[in-house]
Amino acid sequence: MAQILNGNLVRDQIKGECLPRVTRVMEKAGRAPGLAVVLVGDNAASAVYVRNKTKTAEELGVHHETITPDASLSTHELLAIVAELNAREDIDGILIQLPLPSHIDAQKALLAVSPEKDVDGFHPCNVGLLSTGRPGLRPCTPSGVIEILKRYEIPIAGRNAVVVGRSDIVGKPMALLLLQENATVTICHSRTRDLAVVCRGAEILVAAIGRAAMITEEFIAPGAVVIDVGMNTVRTRAEAERIFDPARLADFDKRGSLLVGDVHPGAMARLSSAYTPVPGGVGPLTIAMLMRNTIEAAERRVGIC
């Protein structure tokens, strides 16, 4: 029977490890680590994500601020907000919540964040540090995947790992982190030929392609470890019937929608040796790693490490 890799348990472990680090920052600097989140406009999903981040910050004693300019904000005005946050001594981490309104140059805004305050790990300076194996702030979701694997004592070194997805946020940094752990890594994407065949060669399969239950049983080698990074909402009965068993279909009929990852949940449970469920797998780790990045940024700025 496949082992379920519980992201909630790993999240709680990481949060527990963060608490004494927050105390050390306060003792050294006379203040808590500080996180500023810039939430432009009124995107409902983004607002939920930000509330979850600020709730976790409160639990850990991390100072947090949410800046909520109107959706009509210009790129120039957003850059001015970022510049002010870069200059503040009490702010160690800056997060620009994506997506931004279409008229804002998101790339320019992300580049404006000071690399030492880039707790998302998106700035080219931090990407360069990652690619060369130097210390730096790492993207939160891929870092969370490595934490799950390590804390469940799943070997990485020498194993064949396949990452499905090549985004700058998950796919590419995921591949680099696996390489640092001495895995042999293949990156796949929408143009990969014989994708299912390539995926079946994986001992560790990471799905981060953003398509509901796209990875089905023909993609999964028996005994593989499957990490499902996807988070998709199923809203039609026909799609729900393709993906869910009768018990989950009853949940769908009651709620009108359900979350599913990029991997078919039934195939994943039947074929893998261990897997991350959706929800409750990789998702909870993203905010935990954001908090750890914020604390790490504060430690460096106040001279603890």
How many beta carbons lie within 10 A of that of residue 206, not counting itself?
Answer: 31
Establish whether the linkage from the previous residue to 222 is cis, with ω within 30° of 0: no
Residue 172 annotated among the catalytic residues of the structure: no
CB 174 within 8 A of CB 189: no
CA 267 to CA 272: how far, in whole Å? Answer: 8
Distant-in-sequence, close-in-space partners of 141: CB < 8 Å, separation ≥ 6: 169, 170, 174, 229, 282, 285, 286, 289
What is the dihedral angle through the alpha carbons of 242, 246, 248, 252, rounded to the nearest 10 degrees? 70
Residue 120 annotated among the catalytic residues of the structure: yes
Three-class DSSP category at 154: coil
- Name residue 207's beta-bridge partners: 164, 228
Amino acid at 285: L
Selected catalytic residue, list 53, 92, 117, 262: 53
Residue 53 annotated among the catalytic residues of the structure: yes
Selected catalytic residue, list 92, 117, 118, 120: 120
**Residue 120 structure tokens:** 């998302």
CA 226 to CA 216: how far, in whole Å? Answer: 12
Selected catalytic residue, list 97, 117, 228, 262: 97
How many beta carbons lie within 10 A of that of residue 1, not counting itself?
Answer: 6
CA 265 to CA 268: how far, in whole Å? Answer: 5
Residues marked as catalytic = 53, 97, 120
